[in-house]
Amino acid sequence: MSLLKNVKSAASAGASKIRKKNQALNPSREHTAERKAAAEFTSGVAPAPCSDAILALDIGTEFVKAVVARPTRGGELSIIGINKTRQEVSNMHAGAIADIHGVVATCEKALAGAEKIAGITCRTTVVGIAGELVKGNTSTVRYRRKNGNKPLTEQEMSLIIQRVQERAGEQARKEIATETNNPSVEVRLINSAIVSISIDGYKISNPIGFKGTDIIIQFYTAFAPLVHVSAIEKVCAELNLDLLAVAVEPFAVCRACLGDDLDSNFSGVVMDIGGGTTDIAVVDDGGVEGTKMFGIGGRSFTHQIAQVLGVDFDTAEKYKLASGNPTKIPADLREKMHLAIQRNLAVWLSGVEITLEEFDLSEMLPNKILLCGGGAGLNELQDVLATTDWFKALPFSRRPVIHLVESIDIPGVHNKTDISLDHSYITALGLLRVALDTMAGAPDEGGIRGKLAKLLQN
């Protein structure tokens, strides 16, 4: 089973198609020149182009985070440039791009800052995608072979994977069509990975070459509306970036947690709490069981505070960020603010419960919950997960342990800058992992891992 936990190998299905589409958009070089000029103005030296550097662009509701890294020979990452820039309120909606030109302007500032620190310009990039209309599910598919005495070949495995992806894509299209009331909606495959495989009831890790009749595959696929993916491609084209892959953000966070160990037995519930959405992934024994999202994030807490206290959005955001230090909040507003946060926490916690109920799992949920994203820094949010009985109606064997993920928890990442990589950057680190997966495939290109990676990416 260890091979087929290849979250790594399969992280970027369809990456070559994305690159071709991105090139066809005929990106303007104007924004690249503007970034160089901005960096040169502030530092006195124009960053030089670098072909081996990779860029993670985490386009969030509240911030755009740009992280530049260089891969090492050992499959690790050296972070050489970091920056984030706050989004305009109208740029994003429910985790998806709402104003392309506004997002381009914000990305340009974030990139200029990261490239200034790195001392280079970078074009190769991976971008995250989130939102309630991104559908990531693990399905179990049974495939009966006509000739069980014939060894399973790469061609046959490729056909099986193609059929599974097509079936999952149609299911995702129907779900999105229902939610958007648009029966003609188009969707695109973003990520896919084999979770487990068995032949005639026998679990195996190297399927090619085995004989047998009855094949059962657990297969993770994630699809997104074409309009969302196209917006990301347009942003990258405007910035003159080569879009290597688009990755579902909770999937990318799982990649960050797994690191370079394909045989990892990591299990946990990963919650990426952004400004507009909360993205949840369940990982069992190193395999991604599924990813789901709901449209409540840190910004909803800010709106609730603004409404209850009668202040503007910026003031409410300032108060929210200071919730761990009550002395920074006017004494006459502290109780009202506490009630506002508790009210929104109840709604958010209901979203978590409903979302976890939607996972179709054969076993109990893992007893470890890993929090990341900007919204995860809210102390009250961590406390409500750690101290209340919200979990009892869900298939947990005991109270889950809550852990705020920091960069030191992520294997194979070395920060060479003076800027701290806190929990809000974990998604970006996962995107860098997806970039490595896409460029290099599995470590053994000639072996079974490399072969399966190519099957999943075609």
* Tens digit of each residue's pLDDT (9 = 90 or more) over 263-274: 677 889 999 999
The answer to whether residues 86 and 62 touch, using CB atoms and an 8 Å cutoff, is yes
Using alpha carbons, list the distances in angstroms from residue 78 to 65, 237, 280. Answer: 17, 26, 27
More confident residue, 382 or 2: 382
Report pLDDT for 46: 57
Confidence of residue 162 (pLDDT cuts 50, 70, 90): confident
Is the pLDDT at 83 greater than 50? The verdict is yes
Is the pLDDT at 322 greater than 70? The verdict is yes
Using alpha carbons, list the distances in angstroms from residue 238 to 22, 27, 127, 170, 186. Answer: 10, 6, 14, 31, 23
High-pLDDT (> 70) share of the chain, %: 84
Using alpha carbons, list the distances in angstroms from residue 129 to 9, 136, 246, 274, 295. Answer: 19, 12, 7, 12, 14
Evaluate whether the domain defined by 291-404 bears CATH number 3.30.420.
Answer: yes
Per residue in 186-216, pLDDT (tens digit) is 998 888 777 778 899 888 877 888 999 998 8
Report pLDDT for 1: 39
Confidence of residue 233 (pLDDT cuts 50, 70, 90): very high
Report pLDDT for 10: 44
Q: Is 383 helix (H, G, I), strand (E, B) or coil?
A: helix
In CATH terms, the superfamily for domain 15-132+225-264+415-437 is: ATPase, nucleotide binding domain (3.30.420.40)
Which residue reads 């994030």 in tokens?
297
Report pLDDT for 21: 52
Which residue reads 């029966």 in tokens?
183
The answer to whether residues 94 and 21 touch, using CB atoms and an 8 Å cutoff, is no
Report pLDDT for 42: 47
**226-238 and 15-24 helices cross at what angle (nearest 10)?**
60
Using alpha carbons, list the distances in angstroms from residue 1 to 9, 158, 202, 262, 405. Answer: 14, 18, 10, 10, 27
Report pLDDT for 34: 54
d(C-alpha 108, C-alpha 115), whole Å: 10
Average pLDDT over residues 366-389: 92
Show the beta-strand stretches assigned E in 166-267: 187-199, 202-203, 214-225, 242-248
Is the pLDDT at 33 greater than 90? The verdict is no
DSSP 396: B
Of 78-92, 279-293, 385-399, least confident by mean pLDDT is 279-293
Report pLDDT for 57: 96
Nearest 5°: CA angle at 197, between 194 and 200? 160
d(C-alpha 458, C-alpha 444), whole Å: 18
Report pLDDT for 2: 39
d(C-alpha 443, C-alpha 330), whole Å: 56
Average pLDDT over residues 385-394: 94
Confidence of residue 452 (pLDDT cuts 50, 70, 90): very low
Report pLDDT for 30: 55
Of 15-19, 56-60, 356-360, least confident by mean pLDDT is 15-19
The answer to whether residues 161 and 155 touch, using CB atoms and an 8 Å cutoff, is no
Is the pLDDT at 445 greater than 50? The verdict is no
Per residue in 410-436, pLDDT (tens digit) is 888 899 999 988 999 999 999 998 888
Report pLDDT for 262: 56
Report pLDDT for 455: 46
Of 14-18, 72-76, 101-105, 398-402, least confident by mean pLDDT is 14-18
pTM of the model: 0.81
Mean pLDDT of the residues in the chain: 83
Report pLDDT for 136: 83
Report pLDDT for 307: 93
Strands 187-199 and 202-203: antiparallel
Is the pLDDT at 15 greater than 70? The verdict is no
Average pLDDT over residues 287-316: 90
Average pLDDT over residues 49-78: 89
